[in-house]
């Protein structure tokens, strides 16, 4: 057992080092990403997986200047980050519809994913971004506690922030925000 867990630990730290190299490479490989188009692409993906009205996108505000819809980033990584959040929203609500609000102006781009699932207990709220951490009410749902950790790494990589609001038994809202300086 001990030997096995040491091997697993070495494998994981190897993977982490590899991921770090990939991240360093990605920082150097950014290109302008149209965030509204990314969101429509993500929605098309979920139409196939969860059904036509499963992911409901609501455009709260669009900027006059199209350039305000773009941030320097990596398309595939942002796709993974969004999908992790949306996948959680479906999973922890037993596949109820998920809402996504989109807001962009001269100061920021904001995407908020809202579900009406089991919620996150207050005492777990600032722990769920840790690797392998799962909240106390999540154990009837499959998962290993890695999705949010990866998602936060990706968002931080592109200078964004993640904020979570949740009420146990009611639902969860997670906001991705990219500020313009």
Ligand X SMILES: Nc1ncnc2c1ncn2[C@@H]1O[C@H](COP(=O)(O)OP(=O)(O)OP(=O)(O)O)[C@@H](O)[C@H]1O
CB of 27 to ligand X, least distance (A): 23
Total residues at interface with ligand X (CB under 6 A): 21
Cα–Cα dist 48/52, whole Å: 8
User: Of these, 86, 135, 154, 155, which contacts ligand X (CB under 6 A)?
Assistant: 135
What is the per-residue DSSP string for the chain?
Answer: -HHHHHHHHHHHHHHHHHHHHHHHHHHHT-EEEEHHHHHHHHHHHHHHHH-TTSEEEEEEE--SSGGGGEEEE-HHHHHHHHHHHHHHHHHTTTS--EEEEEEE-SSEEEEEEEE-SS---GGGTTTTTSTT---TT-TTS---S-HHHHHHHHHHHTT-EEEEEEETTTEEEEEEEEE--
Q: Which does 16 bind (CB under 5 to 8 A by kind): Mg ion, ligand X, none?
A: none
Q: Is 147 in the site for Mg ion (CB under 5 A)?
A: yes
User: Of these, 35, 81, 118, 155, which contacts ligand X (CB under 6 A)?
Assistant: 118
Q: Of residues 62-91, which lie at the interface with ligand X (CB under 6 A)?
A: 84, 88-89
User: Of these, 46, 114, 119, 154, which contacts ligand X (CB under 6 A)?
Assistant: 119
Total residues at interface with Mg ion (CB under 5 A): 2
CB closer to ligand X, 19 vs 27: 19
Contact indicator for 115, 171 with CB cutoff of 8 Å:
yes
Q: Is 35 in the site for ligand X (CB under 6 A)?
A: no
Q: Is 92 in the site for ligand X (CB under 6 A)?
A: yes
CB of 126 to ligand X, least distance (A): 11
Interface with ligand X (CB under 6 A): 84, 88-89, 92, 115, 117-120, 128, 134-135, 138, 143-149, 172
């Amino acid at each position: 057992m001990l030997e096995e867990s040491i091997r697993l630990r070495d494998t994981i730290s190897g993977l982490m080092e590899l991921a770090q190299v990939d991240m360093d490479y990605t920082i150097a490989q950014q290109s302008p990403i149209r965030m509204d188009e990314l969101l429509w692409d993500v929605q098309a993906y979920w139409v196939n997986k969860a059904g036509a009205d499963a992911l409901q996108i609501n455009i709260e505000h669009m900027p006059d200047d199209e350039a305000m819809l773009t941030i320097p980033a990596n398309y595939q990584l942002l796709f993974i980050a969004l999908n992790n959040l949306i996948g959680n929203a479906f999973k922890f609500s037993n596949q109820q519809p998920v809402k996504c609000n989109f807001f962009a102006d001269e100061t920021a781009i904001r995407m908020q994913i809202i579900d009406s699932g089991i919620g996150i207990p207050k005492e777990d709220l600032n722990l769920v971004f840790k690797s392998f951490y799962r909240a106390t009410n999540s154990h009837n749902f499959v998962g290993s506690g890695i999705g949010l950790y990866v998602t936060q790494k990706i968002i931080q990589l592109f200078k964004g922030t993640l904020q979570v609001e949740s009420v146990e038994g009611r639902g969860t809202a997670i906001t991705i925000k990219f500020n313009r300086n």
